Amino acid sequence: MITTPSTGPEAIALAAAGNRALAAAGQADMVWGHASVRDPDGRGAWMKSAGWGLEEISEDRIVLVSPDGEVRSGDGRRHIEYPIHTEIMAQRPDVGAVVHTHSDAANAFAALDVPIRPLNHAGSLFSYPDVPRFTLTGGLISTPELGQALAAALGAAPACLMPQHGLVAVGQDLPAAVMTAVLLDKACRVQLDAMAAGPLRRWGAEADTVAKRAVVWSDGQLQAGFEYLVRAAGHPPGLS
């Protein structure tokens, strides 16, 4: 599977597969949420068109959105929150893909205003340092200025919690971004379950956690998880 596209058609195919993979992982919220891939020619971001669920995305439902919000290719409408993708890509040249979902677990966990602890493999990706939070607004990221503020809050991290709104995750490619979103949701869910049972008493130490995540969340492991989700999603809509 191509993970770093060199052409528009490759970016379209990857973006379509990534959105369906998010749905297979339980990240769908009706027609909201989106994944994008950086255009290899620097024209913007290939992302799902508005009005469709993650699980409904086929290649003809991917649009190229320029940094100023123009749909440069494709027949669909762009999402209002396109600045999440374009502004993060502008500030992070290392980022090849961006994911935004309305994870219920992320919202519930962010409301507690406590750090993520490495209680499981997923948590090790967001501890030491703690995952950042974007607290300027819980509303839509509908302007370049808000996109820039979100990108600043994200900084060099792989993901950011957006209290009252969900999460944003990034990666050098779409498999990494998708898996980071899925793992952040999972880390939040595990910690919510543990805290519901009582005070946290044990979690991974910093040195052990940092060493662990280099192994369990290597590029190869993220790729393997992504490919599983693509298989779990099945064929694009309308194909047998």
Q: Look up the pTM and report it.
A: 0.96
For residues 174-208, one letter each, b for 16 or more C-beta atoms within 10 angstroms of the residue's C-beta and e for the rest, the string is bbbbbbbbbbbbbbbbbbeebeeeeeeeebbeeee
Q: What is the pLDDT of residue 239?
A: 41
3-state secondary structure the chain: CCCCCCCHHHHHHHHHHHHHHHHHCCCCECCECEEEEECCCCCCEEEECCCCCHHHCCHHHEEEECCCCCEEECCCCCCCCHHHHHHHHHHCCCCCEEEEECCHHHHHHHCCCCCCCCCCCHHHHHCCCCCCECCCCCCCCCCHHHHHHHHHHHCCCCEEEECCCEEEEEECCHHHHHHHHHHHHHHHHHHHHHHHHCCCCCCCCHHHHHHHHHHHCCHHHHHHHHHHHHHHHCCCCCCC
Q: What is the pLDDT of residue 1?
A: 74
pLDDT tens-digit map of 216-238: 999 999 999 999 999 999 976 65
Q: What is the pLDDT of residue 236?
A: 67
What amino acid is encoded at 49 in this protein? S
Tell me the mean pLDDT per 10 residues along the chain, length 240.
Answer: 91 98 98 98 98 98 98 97 98 98 98 98 98 98 98 98 98 98 98 98 98 97 98 70
* Structural domains of the chain, with CATH: 8-231 (3.40.225.10)
